[in-house]
Structure 1
Amino acid sequence: MSGKRRAAGPAQSSAPAKKGAATKRPRTRKQRVWRVAKWFLIVGLVCSLVAVGGFIYAYQTTDIPDPNEDFETQTSFVYYSDGQTEVGSYATQNRQSIPLDQMPQNLQDAVVAAENRSFWSDNGIDPKGILRAAFSNAKGNATQGASTITQQYVKILYLTQERSYQRKLKEAILSLKLQREMSKEQILEGYLNTIYFGRGAYGVQAASEAYFAKDAKDLSLRECAVLASVLNNPSSFDPANGKASKESLKERYRYVLGGMADADDVSAEKAEKAARRLPKFPKIQAESRYGGQKGHMLSMVRSELKDLGFDDEQIDGGGLRVTTTFTKKAMDAAAAGAREQRPEGPEFSEKNLHVAVASVEPGTGAVRGFYGGQDYLQSQINWAVTGGMVGSTFKPFAVAAALKEGFSLKDTFDGNSPFYYNEQGTGARVRNEGYGSDGLGTDYGSRVSLLRGTEDSINTVFADLTVSMPDGPEKIMQTAEDLGIPNWNKNQAGYDNLDNSPGLEPVSGIALGSATIAPINMANAYGTIANGGRAAKAHVVQKVVSKSGEVLYQFKQSTKRAVDEDVAADTSYAMQQVVSVGTGTAARALGRPAAGKTGTATNSDDDVASAWFVGYTPQLATAVMYVRGKGQEQLDGWLPEYFGGSYPARTWTDVMGRALEGTEVEYFPEPAYLDGDAPDDGHEPYTPPPKPTKKPKPSKSDKPTKKPDKPTETPDPTDTPTIPDTPPTMPPPTTCDPAVGCPPEQPVPPTPTDPAATVAVPPTPPAARQVAHRTEHRVRRG
């Protein structure tokens, strides 16, 4: 019908609705959400009932087992690299049980305040404590653990160190059952007789003897608070582990005393007074079975195991079997070389003069041998790990950095002394060794090649080199770190510098070696150069196996590119020249190809405080350091010779000769003779002036003729070539670049002063070329 329109709105179905059918309304959003929530509630309730039922079933069917049979017999053993020869073992568990009434009340209260403040009122587990600890840990706090004293006791006696929900569930069930069968006093007594306090001590009696050399019943309030503090983390809170550990202990110590005051176990005034200082810790004599270098070896292994995630309790009582990188041959070589070459006399005993040695395998970073400077029973300081100021042994890192930047070994630098860092000739300066004409050091000329500067260890050459590179100090430091020298962690203190280099910072004199570096790290960094510029991590742990034979850790060998192979080859060539004709000629007595660098460093009084020689063959890199007393005392005027080219170089030669005995002689690669685009002008290689023209000889016509009176049957003796009885010890020089020199022939050792001495000379390889040797024997500082 025209003229009529349907009203606006949704179309209506023309089909008639079924009789009796109700119209179905769509659910609202609120109804849909409620429906989903209802199902979640039902599922959650069912799961909760199942969980509760399962817990009740587990509780009823779980019996308290007998204590772990292996609890008292899990000593860990350490082996040489062959995995069979034993180095030693960690302390057999030191345990002495005493009754609760012989434990001071202050000790009981302190442990409860430290570990489980609700101990006397809880049911063996503390759900609120678990949540509280979770939030506390999330905030970065480290005060109270999630486990109660009862749970910790159960874990020690009946369970393993496994971290899993199944173990935690079983721990909770056993804790609930144990607190129903034992009184709180019995649980506390058992706990205090079994918990680990560090230093190999299990239980308060052993701990009291290990820390304070007295019986537990005689402990003071301060001493009780210390023991209650250290059991939370024996490694981090043992004051014997250095300044950082002592500071951490103080914080925990104050927390424990505060908890005792809050619980009215002691008055607030008494707690506050005690918190002002720690008690005195007597010196505890080390066990005799750690004598010689064994204690140092076990200490190094323990430190690395902890870095790998093993805790003290596992190390001392976990039954581990640890294979190290040490070889008995290299360890014996280090000890014998240090003893043989040290000066004689009571004033030079190990108590006063410390000779540190470290040998590392290039390409793997495996520490094969070391000598800590003295018997472990005399001092627990391992100088192969502690180190000292390295002096000029740091200079090869500057050479490598310069070659990376485009300089070459032929490029020249200022060798006159002193060298001023500013152009006005005032302010900070560097001097060369020696008195010189003006008393300010030896002058070597204004244009000295980098090669000669390395051979003769000329300080001003390296000062000029450093400022001639844009951001020179930063680039030298980065090169050293790439090669294997750890950076400086200013928050870390103590005698262990395996992962720290105090004083290493980008200052203008960085190449002169004021940083303190461990001999192990110096040997490893030089080993990187020997390995063609590829760095490996220095390490002492090769493999860790559990008592059941499961491999818990295996070192994965890898290297990374630190410097280009050509840079490494030229840096190595410069150090070969140090041995051939420079300050390290004493190392030529090794009788095989060697590269190295001498070094000395001075203390704040400008006295020589350390002397070094670091060097390598293709198979082994070794660092030798001489220091006195606490590492900063004067060597010059005390030692008969104090340069790096004297005692340190001779010790290095002795150690390497023993360590490499019976091994094949290997040779270094040819130098690359890099000549890049130097970043600074004015360092071109020196070209000597032409020689003066010789006066021409008179012609035959100008000479008077004279007929000899009698024919000569034999040549005049002056024209007869002289044939020596023995070949010359030095090869004749060849023509080569005067600024760079020639590739070295394999070094020939000097003639021994002892007529009975003999030195083996290796065969010369076909590719070897002759090298010009200087006739004088130079031994200069640095």
Structure 2
Amino acid sequence: MSGKRKAAGPADKKTAGRPTKRPRTRKQKVWRFARWVLVAGLVGLLLVTGGFVYLYRSTDIPDPNKDFETQTSFVYYANGKDEVGSFATQNRESISLKEMPDDLQNAVVAAENRTFWSDSGIDPRGILRAAFSNAKGNSTQGASTITQQYVKILYLTQERSYKRKVKEAVLSLKLQRTKSKSEILEGYLNTIYFGRGAYGVQAASKAYFDKDAKDLTLRESAVLASVLNNPTRFDPANGKDSRAALKERYDYVLDGMADAGNITADEAEQAKRKLPRFPKIQAESRYGGQKGHMLTMVRDELHKLGFEDQQIDGGGLRVTTTFTKQAMAAAEEGVKEQRPEGKEFSDKHLHIAVATVEPGTGAIRGIYGGQDYVDSQINWATAGGQVGSTFKPFAVAAGLKAGFSLKDTFDGNSPFYYNEEGTGDRVRNEGTGSDGLGTDYGSAISLLRGTEDSINTVFADLTVSMPDGPDKILKVANDLGIPAWNKNKGGYNNLDNSPGLEPVSGIALGSATIAPVNMANAYASIANGGKAAQAHVVTKVTDKDGNKLYSYKQHTDRAIPEDIAVDTSYAMQQVVKVGTGTAALNLGREAAGKTGTATNGNDEVSSAWFVGYTPQLATAVMYVRGKGNEQLDGWLPEYFGGSYPARTWTDVMGRALEGTEPEDFPPAANVDGDAPDDGHAPYTPPPKPTKKPKPTKTPSSTPSNTPTPSDTPTPSDTPTPSDTPTCTLIGGCETPTDPASPPASTPPATAGAAEGVRQRHGRRRVRLG
């Protein structure tokens, strides 16, 4: 066996000539991965940059949210300085950066964005934080720049997502190019919410410290800068914990101001010793009390003048009204002083309305609408009620225009029938009388006496004694300022409407519903010599820059001749001096007025009034109950117009006129035209009997059977004149035993005692006064 080995074959063709492959090192693997990541990152960055550039170029700055581009409209008293209230979508008033103290500006920057003056307006970390938080299903957190916050408030919704955050960043960058840092800070401080319903530093300054922003101290500025971060948590009014949290945030803000060199370290330490004093701020609603009624009247009138709600609520209007603080306070205090005591007579049940109007201008100086506006939006000064006998002066004026005089006489007996047969519709006086149908005052009662004692049958006779009497009375009322009846209108606002006012036979007795504001204005027209002015509450409207948008043009229209107005006024002066309104004598100055009551369909007294005036002011007072047509007699301790209403009127007028000199009315004009109907001439007593010559001492042989005049009996229906007639009325003379006087069995009339009438119109029985 041989020991030879087999020769080796040729090498493998596949591996021949190639070096042996080495395995990659760990470093090589890392580098290779890094290259891929870098490439992907660059591609992603290019895509993101391209997308951002596209968004930047394609995204326009939108119009600001309407709530924040609006301005609060302010309403002022007649002096143009004292504020009544405001209209606003939000409680906000913009002011310039110059009106904001440097300490306030610096405190806000220190609290919210310490790099504000140098940054680009965006916070990249905040955007990334939003993206990661959104990816995890969470909401984003804060830490936005002031610019971003301003953009979010002004242009965007409050949604928290990375999409909104990106859009916020884009808009912030664009805003930086169109507005300066100062403009951005000013806008931010005028829109950010500070709590307590206050948007912007001006409203916040008033809400927390009851002062304008320009007057804020360092401590106060630091507080406002602190609370805007979390108004609920940092409001000191929310308790001890909130106050402690505020103090911590407050110290942080002061330290930031010191670090920025805005204040010294010593100033910061001094301010950190304690929080500023927080005054007690009234938590009352801006519509509480009577303010809501006033502001509603203002808004309604602005609507009539052509202003829309968008302008009223957000147009930054400055509205000057006719209201005075003195007249408003007089109305409210007078009501509180004179109203009956007891819970059952609170504003919720007993509605007392007051309206004061200035003669010659129509300016509504004061109102009392009743219940707090927050509890009830019914303003009884504009809602009104049945006016009763306070409507009678319009009939007096109409009668004088028709040719009668205050001396002319009318039927004062009760009842009075509208037809000669003594059947059908009738009017009766208050009281039972001998036959239970009302008090008889006599068949010839002067118009003056009828007004003094509010004798209803006198006015029924007066109405039918004038051709088209109801129409004439209606026209006088309308011309003096009482609006017509618009049957298409309803509701409780009757400033432009007088439900039930129509030319019926009983119009003078006041069955119509009329607003106290309009009654006061119509009486003011009489006080103004018969010249009527439009009742109004708005005198001037400007925009926030002072540009005039509206100005009331003062004018009057001749409603009735001056001499007619003077004599009508004279008759109402006698109502106060000797008639049903003597409670008004306590005013201590010349006054004219008229009492009134009215009844509902159940023959229950449902309203009581006193309307009167001096040369300076006219005021109407109304008492109603429940829904305005419920029973007063048997519920209210006294229910005639000469009681609570007249006393309330006297109290209100005394307060409203305080500080003014008393003025006198002009003397009576004594008008006396051609009466349109016979039988109304002033009563002329029969001549005094002449004395018979003394008989001679020689007796007559045939005694006379004719009695001497002194023996002639006086007919029972003819009063015996006194020896000396007394001049009364306005230029005429009557005897003290005027046949217009009530029968001897009837007690003298007292304040309010003659008010009221029962009147039949078809099946409905109404008693009016």
TM-score range, shorter chain: 0.5 to 0.7
- Counterpart of 1:136 in structure 2 is none
Cα separation, partners in 2 of 1:66 and 1:72, compared to 1, 3 Å: closer
Cα separation, partners in 2 of 1:419 and 1:68, compared to 1, 3 Å: same
Q: CA deviation at 1:346?
A: 1.4
Cα separation, partners in 2 of 1:314 and 1:589, compared to 1, 3 Å: same
Alignment of 1:162-201 (within 5 A): none
Q: Secondary structure at the match of 1:397?
A: helix
- Counterpart of 1:463 in structure 2 is 460
Matched, 1:335 2:332: yes
Q: TM-score, normalised by structure 2?
A: 0.59
For residues 668 and 553 of structure 2, what CA distance do their matches in structure 1 show? 31
Conserved 8 A contact 1:72-1:93: no
Q: CA deviation at 1:375?
A: 1.2
Q: In structure 2, which of residues 724, 727, 734 is the aligned counterpart of residue 736 of structure 1?
A: 727
Q: Which segment is superposed worse, 685-694 or 421-430? A: 685-694
Conserved 8 A contact 1:685-1:739: no
Q: CA deviation at 1:297?
A: 0.5
**Residue type at the aligned position of 2:359:** P
Conserved 8 A contact 2:67-2:89: no
Matched, 1:354 2:351: yes
**Residue type at the aligned position of 1:586:** A
Q: In structure 2, which of residues 504, 507, 528 is the aligned counterpart of residue 507 of structure 1?
A: 504
Cα separation, partners in 2 of 1:69 and 1:410, compared to 1, 3 Å: closer
**Residue type at the aligned position of 1:779:** G
- Counterpart of 1:531 in structure 2 is 528
Q: Secondary structure at the match of 2:329?
A: helix
Q: Percent identity?
A: 79
Conserved 8 A contact 2:415-2:429: yes
CA offsets 1:414-455 (integer angstroms, 9 cap, x no match): 111000111111010000000000000000111111010100
Q: TM-score, normalised by structure 1?
A: 0.58
Cα separation, partners in 2 of 1:689 and 1:490, compared to 1, 3 Å: same
Cα separation, partners in 2 of 1:464 and 1:740, compared to 1, 3 Å: farther
Q: CA deviation at 1:317?
A: 1.1
Across the aligned residues of Structure 1 and Structure 2, the Cα RMSD in angstroms comes to 2.9
Matched, 1:615 2:612: yes
Conserved 8 A contact 2:72-2:91: no
Conserved 8 A contact 2:396-2:568: yes
For residues 693 and 355 of structure 2, what CA distance do their matches in structure 1 show? 62
- Counterpart of 1:297 in structure 2 is 294
Q: Secondary structure at the match of 2:320?
A: strand
Cα separation, partners in 2 of 1:498 and 1:69, compared to 1, 3 Å: closer
Q: In structure 2, which of residues 594, 599, 603 is the aligned counterpart of residue 597 of structure 1?
A: 594
Q: Which segment is superposed worse, 612-621 or 314-323? A: 314-323
For residues 457 and 547 of structure 1, what CA distance do their matches in structure 2 show? 53
- Counterpart of 2:214 in structure 1 is none
- Counterpart of 1:190 in structure 2 is none
Q: CA deviation at 1:91?
A: 3.6
Q: CA deviation at 1:779?
A: 3.1
Cα separation, partners in 2 of 1:83 and 1:634, compared to 1, 3 Å: same
Q: In structure 2, which of residues 311, 321, 324 is the aligned counterpart of residue 324 of structure 1?
A: 321
Q: In structure 1, which of residues 628, 631, 639 is the aligned counterpart of residue 628 of structure 2?
A: 631
For residues 442 and 509 of structure 1, what CA distance do their matches in structure 2 show? 18
Aligned residues: 474
Matched, 1:681 2:683: no
- Counterpart of 1:488 in structure 2 is 485
Q: In structure 2, which of residues 542, 547, 565 is the aligned counterpart of residue 545 of structure 1?
A: 542
For residues 520 and 340 of structure 1, what CA distance do their matches in structure 2 show? 21
Q: In structure 2, which of residues 302, 322, 342 is the aligned counterpart of residue 345 of structure 1?
A: 342
- Counterpart of 1:710 in structure 2 is none
For residues 649 and 460 of structure 1, what CA distance do their matches in structure 2 show? 23
For residues 510 and 649 of structure 2, what CA distance do their matches in structure 1 show? 20
Matched, 1:669 2:666: yes
Q: Secondary structure at the match of 2:593?
A: strand
For residues 639 and 385 of structure 1, what CA distance do their matches in structure 2 show? 23
For residues 566 and 602 of structure 2, what CA distance do their matches in structure 1 show? 38
Conserved 8 A contact 2:407-2:732: no
**Residue type at the aligned position of 2:85:** G
Q: CA deviation at 1:503?
A: 0.4
- Counterpart of 1:569 in structure 2 is 566
Alignment of 1:379-398 (within 5 A): 379-398=376-395
Q: CA deviation at 1:65?
A: 5.8
CA offsets 1:202-235 (integer angstroms, 9 cap, x no match): xxxxxxxxxxxxxxxxxxxxxxxxxxxxxxxxxx
Q: CA deviation at 1:549?
A: 1.6
- Counterpart of 2:175 in structure 1 is none
For residues 427 and 91 of structure 1, what CA distance do their matches in structure 2 show? 59
Alignment of 1:229-248 (within 5 A): none
Conserved 8 A contact 1:463-1:511: yes
**Residue type at the aligned position of 2:727:** C
Q: In structure 2, which of residues 748, 752, 765 is the aligned counterpart of residue 779 of structure 1?
A: 752
Q: In structure 1, which of residues 312, 315, 327 is the aligned counterpart of residue 312 of structure 2?
A: 315
Q: CA deviation at 1:289?
A: 2.4
Alignment of 1:113-152 (within 5 A): none
CA offsets 1:125-145 (integer angstroms, 9 cap, x no match): xxxxxxxxxxxxxxxxxxxxx
Q: Secondary structure at the match of 1:288?
A: coil
Q: CA deviation at 1:345?
A: 1.1
Deviating runs (4+, > 2 A) in structure 1?
60-73, 91-95, 286-289, 688-698, 737-743, 774-779
Unaligned runs of 5+ in 2: 1-56, 93-153, 156-196, 198-282, 696-723, 735-746, 756-768
Alignment of 1:739-778 (within 5 A): 777-778=750-751
Cα separation, partners in 2 of 1:613 and 1:740, compared to 1, 3 Å: farther
Matched, 1:77 2:74: yes
For residues 650 and 460 of structure 1, what CA distance do their matches in structure 2 show? 27
- Counterpart of 2:168 in structure 1 is none
Q: CA deviation at 1:588?
A: 0.6
Q: CA deviation at 1:612?
A: 0.2
Higher gyration radius (CA):
2
Conserved 8 A contact 2:73-2:312: yes
Matched, 1:444 2:441: yes
CA offsets 1:348-386 (integer angstroms, 9 cap, x no match): 111111110000000000000010012112211000000
Q: CA deviation at 1:92?
A: 3.7
CA offsets 1:218-256 (integer angstroms, 9 cap, x no match): xxxxxxxxxxxxxxxxxxxxxxxxxxxxxxxxxxxxxxx
Conserved 8 A contact 2:579-2:749: no
Conserved 8 A contact 2:331-2:366: yes
Q: CA deviation at 1:64?
A: 5.7
For residues 742 and 624 of structure 1, what CA distance do their matches in structure 2 show? 35
Q: CA deviation at 1:547?
A: 1.6
Cα separation, partners in 2 of 1:668 and 1:92, compared to 1, 3 Å: same
Q: Secondary structure at the match of 2:333?
A: helix
CA offsets 1:20-56 (integer angstroms, 9 cap, x no match): xxxxxxxxxxxxxxxxxxxxxxxxxxxxxxxxxxxxx
Cα separation, partners in 2 of 1:777 and 1:424, compared to 1, 3 Å: closer
For residues 580 and 635 of structure 1, what CA distance do their matches in structure 2 show? 26
Unaligned runs of 5+ in 1: 1-59, 96-156, 159-199, 201-285, 699-732, 744-773
Q: CA deviation at 1:696?
A: 11
Q: Secondary structure at the match of 1:289?
A: coil
For residues 484 and 546 of structure 1, what CA distance do their matches in structure 2 show? 31
CA offsets 1:275-304 (integer angstroms, 9 cap, x no match): xxxxxxxxxxx9822111000000000000
Conserved 8 A contact 1:449-1:740: no
Conserved 8 A contact 1:449-1:739: no
- Counterpart of 1:372 in structure 2 is 369
Cα separation, partners in 2 of 1:472 and 1:345, compared to 1, 3 Å: same
**Residue type at the aligned position of 2:87:** Y
**Residue type at the aligned position of 2:752:** V
- Counterpart of 1:721 in structure 2 is none
Cα separation, partners in 2 of 1:89 and 1:580, compared to 1, 3 Å: same
Q: CA deviation at 1:659?
A: 0.5
Cα separation, partners in 2 of 1:540 and 1:739, compared to 1, 3 Å: closer
CA offsets 1:480-520 (integer angstroms, 9 cap, x no match): 00000000110011111001000000000000000000000
Cα separation, partners in 2 of 1:492 and 1:531, compared to 1, 3 Å: same
